[in-house]
Amino acid sequence: MSNNDCLAGASKLSRLTAGIVFLLGVLLLPLTTSADPFPPNWGGGAVHYAPAGWPSEPADPANCGSSCGDWKPYTRFQNSINDPRSQDPSNGGTAPQNYVNIASSCSDKTQPSIYYYLHQGATAADDVIMFRWRVEQIANTYATGPSAGSYSASNPWSAALWTVLFDIDGSGFRGLAAHLSGSSGSPATPIDMLAGIWSQSPTQSIDYINDSNVHLLGHNPTAFTDAGTSRILNFQNNNTPVTTWLNGAAETTWDYGTSRARLISTRSCNEYFVDYQIPVAMLDATGIGGPQITRSTPISMMFCTANSLNNPFQKDCAINKTWAADSAR
């Protein structure tokens, strides 16, 4: 039995929370984030955590359903979470833009909204959790037109957060969190980032910028740039970065290394996958008295989109139920 099959089986043991047991490593890496060279030029010291190979999956993303190669649907009470694409009662009180609207296929509520995969490296320190979100419309912003030119500071993602909140002690509050932040790129810090977060405060806030009780544990670029061409590199689904994006506006896979978008094209409509990689080293808060995820840590997770660090539930949460959360509780 594969490691990921073990993980999927473990999720069935919990009837109280949406949980799975990840086979993750005890990590002893430094907690503090490194000084960053901007932009994140490949080979220029910006690669805090090297991209891992993406999991195997069907060649056509439209064939990614309840079975999707090494991707596993995230389950609640042994059922995949198929969040409504339309008339969704699990929004945060604001209408989500289409790229943060969590979907479940063109035939609504028929396919899983969230997938996960554990890349187990040569050592525990190399383990990487990968997440896949099914969304209504394209969320990435680089190499989507006829010609991929120089990057802009806010590339390669639209301004939003795709956040995973981890409850590791059964309290119902996020302990650790991780997300792809499409709002982090700026002229001073170009290219969006992936982040690991921890707080022991009894709220759901992940606002590490304005709240001293919320801690940024580590981060990694969502993409890497080429100093010679000022382009974002294309990792080609095989971890071989090049500066060319040959398909132009006909592109269907945008592999930026640590994050990726894929077009799901069917006769009924188009949807997109948002994929990203979170090294478990970015979820280690032991250096400041917090927890870490080990290979025996039981975890329940919540998946939500937002435009706000203070309220990670702001736009849409992957719950096929009527639900509106208060981030202060």
Q: Give the residues of the chain that fall short of pLDDT 70.
A: 1-35, 87-95, 320-329
Joined tokens for residue 305 = 């989109």
Q: Is 283 helix (H, G, I), strand (E, B) or coil?
A: helix
Q: What is the pLDDT of residue 96?
A: 75
CB contact at 8 A, 213 and 129: no
Residue 99 belongs to what domain range? 3-317
Which tokens in the block code for residue 115? 């997938």
**Res 90: pLDDT:** 59
Query: To which H or E segment does residue 4 belong?
Result: helix 3-10
Q: How far is CA 67 from CA 53, 59, 62, 118, 282, in A?
A: 19, 13, 11, 16, 29
Does residue 327 lie within any of the structural domains? no
Closest of 198, 199, 193 to residue 219, by C-alpha: 193
User: What pLDDT is stored for residue 23 in this prediction?
Assistant: 34
Residue 329 belongs to a domain: no
Is residue 272 a contact partner of residue 264, using CB atoms and an 8 Å limit? yes
SS3 of 197-261:
EEECCCCCCCCCCCCCCEEEEEEEECCCEECCCCEECECCCCCCCECCCCCHHHCCEEECCCEEE
Residue 322 maps to a domain: no
* Per-position b or e across 270-283, b if 16+ CB within 10 A of its CB: ebbbbbbbbbbbbb
Question: Does the residue 113 lie in any domain?
Answer: yes
Q: Tell me whether residue 132 is in a domain.
A: yes
How many structural domains is the chain composed of?
A: 1
- Residue 88 is predicted with a pLDDT of 65
Contacts of 246 (CB under 8 A, 6+ apart): none
Three-state SS letters, 5-25: HHHHHHHHHCCCCCEEECCCC
Encoded amino acid at 138, one letter: I
C-alpha 141, offset from chain centre: 16
Q: Is residue 168 part of a domain?
A: yes
Q: Which pLDDT value is given to residue 18?
A: 39
Whether 209 maps to a domain, the answer reads yes
- Residue 259 and residue 277 in contact, taking contact as beta carbons nearer than 8 Å: yes
Q: What is the DSSP code (8-state) at residue 33?
A: P
Helix (H) or strand (E) holding 41: none
For 122-164, the DSSP string reads: SSGGG-EEEEEEEESS--B-SS-SSS--S--TTTTB-S-EEEE
Residue 328: inside a domain, yes or no? no
* Residues 298 and 45 sit within 8 Å (Cβ to Cβ): no
CA end-to-end span of the chain: 40
Handedness of CA 21, 303, 205, 141 (dihedral sign): positive
Cβ neighbours of residue 203 closer than 8 Å, sequence gap 6 or more:
173, 327, 328, 329
Predicted pLDDT at 281:
94
